[in-house]
């Protein structure tokens, strides 16, 4: 058989498929590792009611012969990111051992860590800090006393103060006792982090429990779509630090994917556009993600904060805020605002249900005008299995939407003044559609895919609802006003992030009161190009702005001009996340701590806090004891890093990096005080997963 040149080229290509499922769009690329080229790409709407359908749609845009050549498939998603920002997820409960409810309230744990009282059961256990003394609860009595609280849980999480020092024996015993009574997933904080801050560790475990159904549904949908597309290749997912892990591990540790999509955007931006210093700005449908690059490397963080949650999940430094093509445009005090809430564009909803246009026309013709969102639409995404746990009003709304989508202005079907759809929307049972920047793009011609008439009618209704005392905006001026809101929010967040990066202590509690007004005035000055004779702050950045994501090219040029910055929209920017997914690799880092054992007579040995517990090293010569402890810690850190890399899916040879950092303090007289040594080991695949071994 004689092969054509193209057939021979395909036969020797080393290729992978990258898929990124965002809150609005699902992107896919076929990537050639030999030429570092994107061979094919696709984009389809994310179908939240059936994720597999959206993934199938985007895979169908890739050539079938290339799909069959893929050696592996890598995934990323912003579904976990968006769930954190929007407060969505399953009902998880956390047993937090070693503290009290009073402590949680005193430190503001709900605001600082995301630990809300109803989700947390505190046990005031008294185990010792060094792990030598364990205070084991009476688990049988505890379960009997709090059975109603446990019954509500879709996942049960456990976190104990001294788990890093005692081998997590209390967490493990609690899991075994609870498993005999409850058939739900269990999450132990010790499996996610070994850091000492129990509040952040508990928040990490609780968030992991909440995200289990979110990521599980995504992985099932992806597997089904790949099977339907005839792709038989290993499936990986991008973690928050930009490395890969297998899909089975991702199903158990969804919290490690909370910045999966944003981390992929960092990889993709580096692949598509070189950047030494600057910002990567990824605007999607639901959120905008901003990451920093210094010296050619992304800035990293030891604990990700997202939404209300402060976790110990490590990853690339990324600020995520609610701004995207599908952010809700609403009225507040008769003024236009951009809400962080994501809604489906009304023009997209009208494309799915043509009757929506007539509903909107009837609303406009009715003469009803209000700052309340009568122009927004509710529709049923899925029927909940058990209606018994919902209120009478929620059950009524479900029955109403079973008959078809409902405009909030249809007062014969729904009463907006008593409507309570928050829980149904949070659980993904009901979805909302409304006016968004995507609808504005539809009208201006910057984006054309959906029903323009629905967008125009909605703009007219909102513009006429702005009330007396405000100038009546034409359609053109209304669109300009929405664009300005998006651009200002992007500008303000870039300035806020750069200020906090430069002055972390000054802004650790957020921006001072009134600073938003300062930013607005500086934005206006920058837009007008006018200075001040006495004082000009001139917020600017010498770094480049790399814009990726579908709508970024519309808004970034104006923002870059206001910041006096160069900007780049690279080729394939609209699918940069999918590129970042496929070029990622597997690596794992583990740390082991060495500490002195202090006695009244001084240091008599060294403690190494390993995975199975703490080990003491002593010797006739103290220096020999330290050398033995350090050598053991190095071996243990490397062993843990290798084991974790294998769990994440590393199959070939691994390269190791081991480093040690000594911590010390000083007495009043200037003498050194040794505090301990942190040994860090990293295991990485020597070859990229996409390359043939």
CATH of the domain at 31: 3.30.420.40
Last residue of one domain, picked from the residues 545, 566, 582: 582
pLDDT at 3: 42
Q: Is residue 692 part of a domain?
A: no
Q: Is residue 69 part of a domain?
A: yes
Q: Is residue 287 part of a domain?
A: yes
In the predicted structure, residue 319 carries a pLDDT above the cut 70: yes
Q: Which residues pair with 21 in a beta bridge?
A: 26, 77
- Per-range mean pLDDT, top range of 114-128, 354-368, 414-428: 354-368
- Render 201-242 in DSSP notation, one character per residue: HHHHHHHHHHHHHHHHHHHHHHHHHHHHTT--S-EEEE-TTS
Give 83-114 pLDDT, tens digit per residue.
887 778 899 999 999 999 999 999 999 989 99
Q: Average pLDDT, stretch 603-616?
A: 88
Query: Cα–Cα distance between 425 and 427 in angstroms, integer?
Result: 5
3-state secondary structure of 94: strand
Where b means 16+ CB within 10 Å and e means fewer, 239-267 reads bbbbbbbbbebbbbbbbbbbbbbbbbbbb
Query: Cα–Cα distance between 152 and 616 in angstroms, integer?
Result: 43
Query: Cα–Cα distance between 656 and 654 in angstroms, integer?
Result: 6
pLDDT at 469: 61
Give 292-305 pLDDT, tens digit per residue.
999 888 888 878 88
Query: Cα–Cα distance between 246 and 73 in angstroms, integer?
Result: 10
- CA-closest candidate to residue 181, choices 209, 210, 151, 207: 151
- CA-closest candidate to residue 106, choices 199, 194, 206: 199
Query: Cα–Cα distance between 451 and 438 in angstroms, integer?
Result: 11
pLDDT at 1: 36
Where b means 16+ CB within 10 Å and e means fewer, 466-491 reads beeeeeebeeeebbeebbbbbbbbbb
Whether residues 600 and 562 share a domain: the answer is no
Whether residues 276 and 261 share a domain: the answer is no
- For position 129, which CATH number holds? 3.40.50
In the predicted structure, residue 79 carries a pLDDT above the cut 70: yes
- Render 371-428 in DSSP notation, one character per residue: SS-TT-EEEES---S-GGGS-HHHHHHHHHHHT--EETT-TTT--TTT---HHHHHTT
Which residue in this structure is represented by tokens 């480049």? Answer: 544
Last residue of one domain, picked from the residues 183, 210, 237: 210
- For position 532, which CATH number holds? 3.30.420
In the predicted structure, residue 308 carries a pLDDT above the cut 90: no
Q: In which band, very low, low, confident or very high, does the pLDDT at 57 lie, cut at 50, 70 and 90?
A: very high
Whether residues 345 and 205 share a domain: the answer is no
Whether residues 230 and 364 share a domain: the answer is no
Between CA 35 and CA 44, with CA 41 as vertex, the angle to 5 degrees is 160
pLDDT at 6: 37
Q: Average pLDDT, stretch 614-634?
A: 93
Q: Average pLDDT, stretch 313-333?
A: 89
Q: In which band, very low, low, confident or very high, does the pLDDT at 640 lie, cut at 50, 70 and 90?
A: very high
pLDDT at 529: 82
Q: Average pLDDT, stretch 455-483?
A: 89
Looking at the structure of the chain, the number of domains it has is: 5
DSSP state letter for 552: H
Whether residues 454 and 493 share a domain: the answer is no
Whether residues 548 and 635 share a domain: the answer is no
Whether residues 507 and 543 share a domain: the answer is yes
- Render 581-598 in DSSP notation, one character per residue: HHT---EEEEEEEEEEEE
Terminal Cα-to-Cα distance of the chain (whole angstroms): 28
Last residue of one domain, picked from the residues 536, 556, 582: 582
What integer best gives the mean pLDDT of the chain? Answer: 89
- CA-closest candidate to residue 13, choices 40, 47, 53, 41: 40
pLDDT at 387: 84
Q: Is residue 635 part of a domain?
A: yes
Query: Cα–Cα distance between 266 and 417 in angstroms, integer?
Result: 44
Whether residues 340 and 196 share a domain: the answer is no
Whether residues 75 and 223 share a domain: the answer is yes
In the predicted structure, residue 609 carries a pLDDT above the cut 50: yes
In the predicted structure, residue 455 carries a pLDDT above the cut 70: yes
Q: Average pLDDT, stretch 115-142?
A: 87
In the predicted structure, residue 7 carries a pLDDT above the cut 60: no
Q: How many CA atoms lie within 13 A of 492 on its CB side?
A: 20
In the predicted structure, residue 10 carries a pLDDT above the cut 50: no
Between CA 13 and CA 18, with CA 14 as vertex, the angle to 5 degrees is 120
Sign of CA dihedral 493, 494, 497, 498: negative
Q: Is residue 240 part of a domain?
A: yes
Give 248-299 pLDDT, tens digit per residue.
999 999 999 988 888 898 889 888 988 889 999 999 888 898 999 998 888 8
Query: Cα–Cα distance between 1 and 10 in angstroms, integer?
Result: 16
Q: Is residue 576 part of a domain?
A: yes
In the predicted structure, residue 9 carries a pLDDT above the cut 90: no
Backbone φ, ψ for residue 631 (5° rounding): -65, -40
Whether residues 378 and 468 share a domain: the answer is yes
Q: Is residue 61 part of a domain?
A: yes
CA 17 to chain centre: 22
Whether residues 106 and 191 share a domain: the answer is yes
- CA-closest candidate to residue 186, choices 161, 159, 214, 219: 159
pLDDT at 470: 61
Q: Is the pTM of this model over 0.95?
A: no
* Tokens (6 digits) for 452: 């323009």
Which structural domain range is residue 451 located in?
333-481
Kind and range of the H or E run holding 157? strand 155-160
Q: Is residue 93 part of a domain?
A: yes
Whether residues 534 and 623 share a domain: the answer is no
Q: In which band, very low, low, confident or very high, does the pLDDT at 693 lie, cut at 50, 70 and 90?
A: very low
Give 167-190 pLDDT, tens digit per residue.
888 999 999 999 999 999 999 998
Q: Average pLDDT, stretch 603-611?
A: 89
* Tokens (6 digits) for 491: 């500008």
């Amino acid at each position: 058989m004689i092969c054509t040149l193209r057939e021979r080229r395909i036969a020797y290509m080393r290729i992978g498929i990258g898929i990124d499922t965002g809150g609005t769009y699902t992107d896919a690329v076929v990537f050639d590792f030999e030429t570092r080229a994107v061979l094919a790409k696709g984009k389809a709407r994310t179908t939240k009611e059936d994720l597999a359908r959206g993934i199938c749609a985007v895979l169908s845009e890739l050539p079938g012969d290339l799909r069959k050549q893929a050696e592996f498939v890598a995934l990323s998603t912003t579904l976990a990111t968006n769930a954190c920002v929007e407060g969505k997820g399953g009902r998880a409960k956390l047993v937090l051992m070693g503290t009290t409810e009073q402590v949680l309230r005193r430190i503001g744990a709900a605001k600082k860590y995301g630990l809300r009282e109803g989700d947390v059961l505190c046990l005031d256990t008294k185990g010792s800090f060094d792990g030598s003394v364990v205070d084991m609860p009476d688990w049988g009595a505890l379960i009997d006393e709090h059975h109603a609280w446990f019954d509500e849980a879709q996942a049960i999480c456990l976190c104990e103060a001294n788990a890093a020092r005692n081998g997590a024996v209390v967490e493990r015993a609690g899991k075994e006792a609870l498993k005999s009574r409850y058939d739900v997933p269990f999450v132990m904080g010790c499996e996610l982090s070994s850091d000492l801050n129990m509040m952040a560790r508990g928040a990490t475990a609780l968030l992991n429990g909440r995200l289990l159904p979110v990521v599980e549904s995504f992985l099932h949908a992806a597997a089904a779509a790949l099977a339907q597309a005839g792709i038989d290749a290993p499936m990986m997912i991008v973690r928050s630090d930009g490395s890969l892990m297998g899909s089975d591990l991702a199903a158990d540790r969804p919290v490690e994917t909370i910045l999966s999509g944003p981390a992929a955007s960092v990889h993709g931006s580096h692949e598509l556009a070189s950047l030494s210093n600057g910002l990567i700005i990824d605007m999607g449908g639901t959120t905008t993600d901003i990451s920093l690059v210094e010296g050619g490397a992304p800035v990293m963080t030891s604990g990700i904060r997202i939404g209300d949650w402060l976790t110990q999940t490590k990853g690339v430094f990324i600020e995520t805020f609610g701004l995207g093509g599908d952010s809700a445009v609403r009225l507040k005090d008769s003024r236009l605002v951009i809400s962080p809430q994501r809604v489906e564009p009304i023009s997209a909803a009208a494309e799915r249900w043509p009757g929506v246009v007539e509903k909107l026309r009837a609303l406009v013709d009715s003469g009803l005008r209000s700052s309340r969102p009568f122009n927004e639409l509710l529709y049923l995404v899925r029927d909940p299995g058990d209606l018994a746990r919902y209120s009478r009003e929620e059950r009524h709304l479900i029955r109403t939407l079973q008959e078809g989508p409902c405009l909030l202005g249809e007062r014969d079907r729904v009463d907006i003044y008593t409507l309570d759809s928050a829980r149904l929307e949070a659980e993904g049972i009901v979805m909302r559609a409304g006016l968004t920047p995507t609808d504005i793009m539809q009208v201006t011609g910057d984006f054309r895919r959906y029903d323009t008439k629905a967008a125009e009618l909605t703009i007219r209704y909102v513009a006429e609802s702005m009330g007396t005392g405000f100038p009546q905006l034409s359609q053109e001026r209304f669109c300009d006003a929405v664009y300005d809101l998006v651009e200002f929010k992007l500008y303000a967040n870039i300035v806020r992030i750069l200020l906090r990066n430069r002055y972390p202590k000054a802004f650790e509690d957020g921006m001072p009161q009134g600073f938003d007004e300062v930013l607005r005035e500086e934005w206006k000055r920058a837009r007008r190009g006018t200075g001040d004779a006495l004082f000009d702050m001139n917020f600017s950045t010498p770094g480049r702005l790399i814009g990726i994501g579908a709508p970024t090219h519309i808004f970034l040029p104006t923002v870059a001009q206001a910041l006096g910055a160069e900007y780049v929209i690279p080729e394939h920017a609209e699918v940069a996340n999918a590129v970042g997914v496929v070029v990622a690799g597997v690596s794992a880092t583990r740390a082991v701590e060495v500490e002195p054992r202090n006695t009244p007579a001084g240091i008599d040995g060294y403690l190494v806090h390993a995975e199975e517990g703490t080990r003491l090293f002593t010797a006739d010569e103290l220096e020999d004891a330290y050398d033995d402890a350090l050598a053991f810690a190095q071996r243990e850190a490397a062993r843990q890093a290798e084991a974790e890399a294998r769990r994440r899916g590393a199959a070939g040879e691994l390269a190791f990096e081991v480093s040690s950092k000594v911590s010390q303090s000083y007495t009043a007289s200037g003498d050194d005080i040794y505090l301990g040594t942190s040994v860090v080991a990293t295991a990485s695949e020597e070859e990229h997963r996409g390359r043939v071994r």
